[in-house]
Amino acid sequence: MSLTILATASILGVSYLFLQKQDLTPFEKELLALPDSKYILEHTRMVNVRGHRLRIIDIPGKKLDKPILLLIHGLGGQASQWEDQLEFLRNQASRVVALDLLGCGSSQGESKWKSYDTDELVSDVTAVVNTLDINKGIIAIGHSYGCIISTILATRITLQGLILICCPKLHLTKREKRGQKLLPFIPDWVINRARRADRKGGLNSTSVIRILGTTDANEEIKRRQLRWNLMSRTPVYKRFMSRATMPSTDIFKKISTNRVLLIGATEDKLAPSSNMDQIEKYLQEPPTRLLIQGAGHMPMVTHTQQVNSAIQDFLAQQ
């Protein structure tokens, strides 16, 4: 059973990300108690949209004639995963906004399963966008499952560009779909037990290395990744996974921009870089592409400079 969960999880470009505060090691408790950085906290505010109280990190940019950049994290992730982009990108944009999706990071969750449907999450994001000054134009940057949300967003509002980092595959197998249906019936404690086993070994545990793609990452990065894994809540994770619907491939024909940047990584086991070839086939115009050597599923954290320069170049071509 946990294999089915894992299989489904890896499709969506995630790892195992459930958890309650019980049965944590002292080290895990310590990590979980760490606050976000001062920079993030200073730029954090809450927005109320569609009955949801969501956290956004909202940073004024330095180029007022440029679009707003909107950063959307993946399953089990949160806005703080973009920390290494925020300060850099504010020099290239009129505003940089990263949000925590429903129940993620510092956003409130809710128990209703339907609220976690892919389309509902996109509606949340659309509502957040509508609180911004959209006359500036918007460029969406998604990571993992956030790529799916950004792509659907691109069919609902006009974007000036779309950047997809580690995009998951669009087709779920029958087995994965069965796993999705089964998930609501699996008690949280069962999942928590599997997660605990997955975190055995702490900074070098499977839960961390699966995502980073390599044991070589420095200790600070491993620490951050383990903290994000710990912060991902089991009930939220179950709802995200179980209610995720992948759009049909013709979605790429309906997006509001021809400017697309795809970023993949050679050691990404959760969203293999070959996914970029698939997406390229569905696009109307050839995208800009970057394949990062040696990176796993979190290139914006482990290979910051390459990701940032690729985004910078893409924005400069505007």
Ligand X SMILES: *[C@@H]1O[C@H](CO)[C@@H](O)[C@H](O)[C@H]1NC(C)=O
Sites of contact with ligand X (CB under 6 A): 202-204, 215
Shortest separation between residue 204's beta carbon and ligand X, angstroms: 4
Q: Of all residues in this chain, which one has the CB nearest to ligand X in the complex?
A: 204
* Nearer to ligand X (CB atom), residue 30 or residue 119: 30
* Nearer to ligand X (CB atom), residue 272 or residue 296: 296
* Nearer to ligand X (CB atom), residue 218 or residue 293: 218
Shortest separation between residue 226's beta carbon and ligand X, angstroms: 10
**Residue owning tokens 């001062």:** 38
Q: Which of 147, 190, 153 is nearest to 167 (CA)?
A: 147
- Rounded-to-integer distance, Cα 221 and Cα 219, Å: 5
Helices 2-11 and 188-198, axial angle in degrees (round to 10): 70
Token digits of residue 98: 């990263």
Shortest separation between residue 120's beta carbon and ligand X, angstroms: 39
Shortest separation between residue 224's beta carbon and ligand X, angstroms: 14
Token digits of residue 5: 């969960």
* Nearer to ligand X (CB atom), residue 187 or residue 201: 201
- Rounded-to-integer distance, Cα 299 and Cα 302, Å: 5
Q: Which amino acid belongs to residue 309?
A: S
- Beta strand residue intervals within the chain, DSSP E: 44-49, 52-60, 68-72, 95-99, 138-143, 161-165, 260-265, 288-292
- Rounded-to-integer distance, Cα 135 and Cα 137, Å: 5
Shortest separation between residue 18's beta carbon and ligand X, angstroms: 23
Q: Residue 182: helix, strand or coil by DSSP?
A: helix
Shortest separation between residue 227's beta carbon and ligand X, angstroms: 14
* Nearer to ligand X (CB atom), residue 202 or residue 247: 202
* Nearer to ligand X (CB atom), residue 12 or residue 203: 203
Shortest separation between residue 175's beta carbon and ligand X, angstroms: 33
b/e code 16-39 from CB counts within 10 Å (16+ = b)? bbbbeeeebeeebeebeeeebeee
Q: Residue 44: helix, strand or coil by DSSP?
A: strand
Question: Is the CB of residue 160 less than 8 Å from the CB of residue 67?
Answer: yes
* Nearer to ligand X (CB atom), residue 131 or residue 204: 204
